[in-house]
Amino acid sequence: MICALCKEREANKKNTHYLTDSIIRTCLNLDGANEREAGFYFDVSNNTPFVDFNFQRGTSIPKLEESLGRQATEEEIEKAKEIPFSVDYVFCSQCEDIFTSIETPFIETILPQFRQVNLTGTNQIELAQNKIVKLFFYLQVWRTAICEDVYNLSEDTMERLRLTILNSDSIENCDIPNFPYHITYLQTVGDASAYTNNFVGCTSDRNPNIIFMNDFVIQFFEETNLIRTIDFYGLNQTNDLAQFINAGNESVNIKVLPNQRRLDLVGRINREEKVQKSISYFVETFAKQWFMIFGGFPNQYLTQEYLQFISAGGFDILKYTQESIVEKTTEFIDLKLK
């Protein structure tokens, strides 16, 4: 296989993170630890009523099961052998060095301006290092489009990004393509474990193409005339979108979302993307099984009693797999038959 960046050398590199590891690591790891392969993470972007749950090879299994409230499944254990948000044999070693040359200046000079300062009361941060910032976020966008089937860009956009990254060392800032992009920084207050509430992953939306990278959110547009505002659970506001669209060679303006709004955003995504879908699925499963046995559908009071039974008074969808819901539903009906 030929390297996706240079298109010349063999793709011989294993474990290339297509989202920069040092940015996403504290979100993925237990207690927000800044260690490799020692935590778990959740994918809420699928189309099922269940959260895709994954954990990494170095995770403490007792702590994992304490957090989940259940044992990990064999499928989850098998998937733990994979390294999240990384790929094998897509890029070559020389191009990996190019990636590092783009990531390092951002990590060393830009990241501390967000994570190592108190941003309370700050609504935006203006950065003069346009080339460093632009190349870093272009790299995340291009690699994600290469490695994730759901994240799609046009062939022309992909090629322009590829050539920019390939020639990043010599290219002048004025020659870098000016794709409009919007960056939100999610202020994350508390100890290191607070980062584990954030998300890592991408959506299938187009213009904006959205990537969550722990405490950074990228919204990428392929053309200026395609810029549009979507609420996305409170991430965006119509009255300030234009203010934070970066589409030139001047300074970069990054929006800062206060910690409480970050928590509201995370909560809305969880509720609207998963919890409501899960409850609807559970109710439908119960109704079908009840109908098969009794020839009629359960009334609303019985349905509420069923939901109380499977949730034990609380509702944490991470505790449930599809198999366990069928078992709990059968158990509830058996109790009613006695």
Q: In this predicted model, what pLDDT tens digit does every residue of 216-238 receive, in sequence order?
A: 999 999 999 999 888 888 899 88
The answer to whether 266 touches 199, Cβ cutoff 8 Å, is: yes
Domain boundary among 194, 229, 257: 257
What pLDDT does residue 58 have?
A: 44
Same-domain pairing of 189 and 128: yes
Same-domain pairing of 217 and 87: yes
Domain boundaries, position 163? 16-37+83-257
Residues 6+ apart with CB under 8 A from 273: 44, 45
Mean pLDDT of 280-299: 84
Q: Which residue has the higher pLDDT, 268 or 55?
A: 268
Q: Is the pTM of this model over 0.85?
A: no
Q: What percent of the chain has pLDDT over 90?
A: 47
Residues 6+ apart with CB under 8 A from 135: 102, 164, 165, 168, 176
Residue 69 included in any domain: no
Same-domain pairing of 157 and 234: yes
What pLDDT does residue 59 have?
A: 46
Residue 162 included in any domain: yes
Give the model confidence (pLDDT) of 118-136 as tens digits.
999 999 999 999 999 999 9
Same-domain pairing of 88 and 235: yes
pLDDT surpassing 60 at residue 11: yes
What pLDDT does residue 328 have?
A: 80
pLDDT surpassing 80 at residue 44: no
Residue 151 included in any domain: yes
pLDDT surpassing 70 at residue 41: no
Kind of pairing between the strands at 209-214 and 216-220: antiparallel
Residue 77 included in any domain: no
Lowest mean pLDDT among 193-197, 243-247, 280-284, 321-325: 321-325
Mean pLDDT of 169-180: 95
Based on C-alpha coordinates, what's the Rg of the chain? Answer: 22
Residues 6+ apart with CB under 8 A from 111: 22, 23
Residue 67 included in any domain: no
Q: Which residue has the higher pLDDT, 285 or 258?
A: 258
Same-domain pairing of 302 and 247: no
The answer to whether 246 touches 253, Cβ cutoff 8 Å, is: yes
Q: Which runs of E-coded beta strand occur in 130-237?
A: 181-186, 199-202, 209-214, 216-220
Same-domain pairing of 241 and 282: no
Same-domain pairing of 227 and 304: no
pLDDT surpassing 60 at residue 63: no
Same-domain pairing of 208 and 319: no
Residue 233 included in any domain: yes
Same-domain pairing of 208 and 292: no
For residue 20, count CB atoms less than 10 angstroms from its CB and return exposed for 0-12, middle for 13-18, buried for 19 or more: buried
Mean pLDDT across the chain: 82
Domain total of the chain: 2
As a whole number of angstroms, the distance between CA 56 and CA 33 comes to 13
**Would you give the distance in Å from CA 33 to the centre of its chain?**
18
